Amino acid sequence: MKFTSFKRSTAVLALGLTVALGATGCNRGEEGASGDKVTLAVSTLNNPFFVDLRDGATEAAEAAGLTLEVVDAQNDSATQTNQLATAATSGVQGVIINPVDSDSAAAAVSPLLENNIPVIAVDRAVNDAEIASLVSSDNVAGGKQAADELAKAMGEKGKVIVLQGVAGTSASRDRGAGFEEGIKAYPDIEVVAKQTANFDRAQALDVATNLLQANSDVTGIFAENDEMALGAIQALGDRAGTDVKVVGFDGTEDALAAIQAGTMTATIAQQPSELGKRSVELMAQLLAGETVESNVPVPVTTVTEENVEEFIK
């Protein structure tokens, strides 16, 4: 079914109401969205987290009767911009974006908004753009939870290294801010180094190896995602989980296995499948001419050896 001018106008009106009034919740509108084409622009499918997000979105699209096209930017902002430019002229009725870079994504979604194509962001915000909604985990709260768990494992004293995600992403910024705020409650813990590894395991192996050589007395590592935490664990070798406690973020299958093995202390589990599912459900509502909430938080949970079994699929 084509996205009619009336529907586009309705969606734009809904967007305006969302921004102006803070938006209100409403029921799901699958009937009006059936058959519409939606593009899901993912930052990278090399990360298992985003594979789960895609799978959740795909399942929800099938349930709503949407045709979902998934494009992978391979963590390249220029590639994602080109993908969205193509989407703007390809007849899609809506776009869900997981930005490579929250700042540069504003320019990337501009052609879509100019063509009255509704845009929803998932996992990461689009800065300085009036998109319809953001579906994301509470990353600030998760960062604080990570600080508490790492501090507890370290006996509330010692030195910490922080592995940061992709610069400019809201996920990295918010998790980092939450961790920084949370760790202030422990005056005997010092953050001695911060460096980006771009949410990538291989890069984290190299970065952690170098930082550990320069800071051999650290006893804690916080990584802003599980892939980097797993890279750090590789760099630590036998020290992981014993001399040095590691806390990650995401709750991926590999991270849960590391917690079971005792090499990772904790992870802050997101629900990537739920993020994908909710973003598609919201898009279905928009395409049906309904209003949606401007921010849709999805809960996060601290996973340790005490509750890890509950998260194993």
Q: Across 13-167, where does the E strand assignment appear?
A: 37-42, 67-72, 94-97, 119-122, 133-137, 158-164
- What pLDDT, on the 0 to 100 scale, is given for residue 270? 86
Question: Domain 139-269 class?
Answer: alpha beta
| Residue 77 three-state SS | helix
pLDDT at 90 over 70: yes
- What pLDDT, on the 0 to 100 scale, is given for residue 34? 65
Mean pLDDT of 135-153: 95
**Residue of 309, 297, 231, 236 whose CA lies nearest to 270:** 297
Which segments of the chain belong to CATH 3.40.50.2300? 37-136+272-298, 139-269
Mean pLDDT of 27-54: 80
- What pLDDT, on the 0 to 100 scale, is given for residue 311? 87
Mean pLDDT of 65-87: 96
The per-residue pLDDT of the chain, averaged, comes to: 89
pLDDT at 5 over 70: no
DSSP 8-state secondary structure symbol assigned to residue 309: G
φ, ψ of residue 268 in degrees (nearest 5): -95, 105
Interval 76-86: pLDDT, tens: 999 999 999 99
pLDDT above 70 coverage of the chain, percent: 89
pLDDT at 44 over 90: yes
Residue at 241: amino acid letter: G
pLDDT level of residue 138 (50, 70, 90 thresholds): confident
274 close to 59: Cβ distance less than 8 angstroms: no
pLDDT at 24 over 80: no
- What pLDDT, on the 0 to 100 scale, is given for residue 8? 40
Domain 37-136+272-298, CATH number (from 3.40.190.10, 3.40.30.10, 3.40.50.2000, 3.40.50.2300): 3.40.50.2300
- What pLDDT, on the 0 to 100 scale, is given for residue 33? 54
Q: Dihedral, CA atoms, 203, 209, 212, 214, nearest 10 degrees?
A: -100
User: Please, what is the Cα angle at 274 between 273 and 279, to 5 degrees?
Assistant: 105
Question: What tokens appear for 176 in the block?
Answer: 């980092």
Interval 269-296: pLDDT, tens: 988 999 999 999 999 999 999 999 999 9
Comparison of pLDDT for 94 and 171, the residue scoring more? 94
- How much helix, strand and coil, in percent to the nearest 5, is found in the chain? 45, 20, 35
Sign of CA dihedral 264, 268, 271, 276: negative
Mean pLDDT of 296-301: 89
User: Burial, 175: exposed, middle or buried (Cβ in 10 Å; 0-12, 13-18, 19+)?
Assistant: buried
Beta bridge partners of 234: none
